[in-house]
Amino acid sequence: MVEGMTRPRHTPETTRLALALLAVAAVLALACTARARGLLLNSVELAAGAAAIALPAGIVWGLALGKAVFPGRRLLAAVTVAALFVPLQVYAAAWQTLLGFDGWTTGGGPGDPWLDGLAGAIWVHGWAAAPWVAVLITWSLEAVERRLEEESLLDATAARVLVRVSLRRAAGGVLAAAVTVFALCAAEIGVTDLFRVRTFAEEVYTQAALGSLSGGAMPADDAAALREARDLTAGTLAHWLLGGAVLLLAAPLVPRPAEADSEAGWRLTPRSSPKLNAALAAAAALLTAVAVVAPALGLAWKAGLSTARTAQGATAAWSLAKCLRMTGRAPLEHGRELLWSLGVAALAAAAVMIVSVVVASWGRRSRGARLTAGAVAAAALAVPGPLVGVGVILLLAHGVDSPWHWLTPMYDRTVAAPALVQAIRALPLAGLVVWTQLASVPQGLLDAAASEGAGPWSRWVRIALPLRAPGLAAACAVALVLAVGEVSATLLVYPPGVTPLSVRISQLLHYGVDDRVAALSLALLLGTVALGTAASFALAIWQDRRLKKNHDRHADRAPLG
């Protein structure tokens, strides 16, 4: 998945620090009142259920992508990476068409749904998180020392080496994946709101919608107000520490560009381990089908379903022509929302890239900058999305008697508020990509440019940024896609006359998944996967060409004999 990349590993210090942050988060949760503890426990139950689905599936998926060799592996890897950025509400709509009310399993009519309540939220979150687990496991496996695996093969079978050596050495990736699943579930409300599951993030959204978090209706009892404020603070800090643990565990796994061809990790081969290799290949194909293809088929079924009344009663029939027509027409019918989404997301992505590049360049010289950036990224990653929206409201919305009243038009007359919340939500992941890209720029190259008279601005603009242009373009695409799909905070801050597509889909889902919603969701799913797959292949081709060029250059310089 990441050929030609250097593969750093966890250090014991970072792992211990991450576990300490998780322990402090648990203590903060226990310090809350019984009601807040119940909401946080609901969040934990949701995340644990999702992890029970995502971890086994993602580990097998990651083993297949990281260790097996089979035709189409690169395509499956690209699709897996692209699936990371499918908006969560699209997954919710897709699984509703398969297993929910008025879905495939109920025959397209009212019936007892398979997915409902907490079980439904767990199922959607679990399969949405499975690609994240697979990618983290793959990266972690590629950091395992090839020499250690090959020496173990002298005394054990390939299957035993995978389990007892590769996976054991990749335990940090498994832990990072588990914590990431918890963070993804804890900060989102798109699915829990749809399935009527009360979590801490859902409670924050409800209170924000009622206005109590921004100075509106407050409890009449001062003691009750104090307890609510204490619960909010403790719960938010717990989420923040969870985000810090995610960054500590996941950041070392992100591959960095290598200037020379790095040693490829050990892999199975169809000749040496035919059965195991074939089993992993089949498992990867099956998991991709369940996590990506099945939701697409469910949406296609719903988009092409037609109901007609006859003398014998209502009959339902599926039409490919209707499915194609509805899916092709959906972006045009929702063109206004799509344009608003792309415009606001473009502003958010631009802000993310500017901030990330500045912080990454500053962070190379300052430890304090790195710590500050990590703290901010942790908060943006795991703090419930509605709290981000509330923070932006408090920042921009002011009364006429406030000295900051001049900021209010930015809140209710421009798209500054949704662009800001989307930038904050997209910053951790896109910023992590930018950070790893720019951190890999050789310091010797920058020092050589400085010795030739290049200033700091010239060194970064003319050397560092062009050198990492493809990776930075990928980070910008990540920020754009994440911003388009953000709904938890955007629900609270979008101004009148501006309805982003993510908000429109979320609103329509509360009325059921009809053919129009299914067609729009299918168009988004296919578009995201197609663009993400194309971008992954383009980046891989560029990396291969650059490594080949470097290899040829070193070969030309090698002495004869």
Q: From start to end of 377-533, where are the E strands? A: none
Between strands 305-310 and 313-318, the pairing is: antiparallel
d(CA 464, CA 125): 38
Enter the tokens of residue 41: 């426990």
Contacts of 56 (CB under 8 A, 6+ apart): none
Contacts of 221 (CB under 8 A, 6+ apart): none
CATH of domain 15-302: 1.10.3720.10
Kindly report, residue by residue over 86-121, the tens digit of the pLDDT. Answer: 888 888 888 988 887 666 666 555 556 777 888 889
Enter the tokens of residue 235: 């719960």
User: What pLDDT is stored for residue 56 in this prediction?
Assistant: 95
CATH 1.10.3720.10 fits 329-513, yes or no: yes
d(CA 352, CA 360): 12
Kindly report, residue by residue over 235-247, the tens digit of the pLDDT. Answer: 889 999 999 999 8
Nearest CA-CA partner of 529 in 135, 84, 93: 84
User: What pLDDT is stored for residue 559 in this prediction?
Assistant: 42
The count of other CB atoms within 10 Å of the CB of residue 503 is: 20
CATH topology match: 15-302 vs 329-513: yes
Residue recorded with tokens 């097996």: 68
Q: From start to end of 249-338, where are the E strands? A: 256-257, 305-310, 313-318
3-state secondary structure 337-387: HHHHHHHHHHHHHHHHHHHHHHHHHHHCCCHHHHHHHHHHHHHHHHCCHHH
User: What pLDDT is stored for residue 558 in this prediction?
Assistant: 44
CB-neighbour burial class of residue 53 (10 A; exposed 0-12, middle 13-18, buried 19+)? buried
Chunked mean pLDDT (size 10), the chain, 561 residues: 54 86 91 88 92 95 91 89 87 85 62 78 93 91 84 86 87 89 87 86 79 54 76 89 89 70 70 88 93 90 78 72 90 89 93 92 81 88 87 87 87 90 92 86 83 82 85 87 88 87 84 83 88 79 67 49 32
d(CA 426, CA 438): 18
Alpha helices in 4-162 (DSSP H): 12-30, 34-67, 73-83, 88-99, 117-141, 146-152, 158-161
Q: Domain residue spans in the chain?
A: 15-302, 329-513
User: What pLDDT is stored for residue 279 in this prediction?
Assistant: 92
Residue type, 154: L
Grouping H, G, I as helix, E, B as strand and the rest as coil, residue 313 is strand
Contacts of 556 (CB under 8 A, 6+ apart): none
Global pTM value: 0.86
Grouping H, G, I as helix, E, B as strand and the rest as coil, residue 413 is coil
User: What pLDDT is stored for residue 251 in this prediction?
Assistant: 83
Give the torsion sign (CA, 41, 43, 44, 49).
positive
Cβ 485 vs Cβ 87: under 8 Å? yes
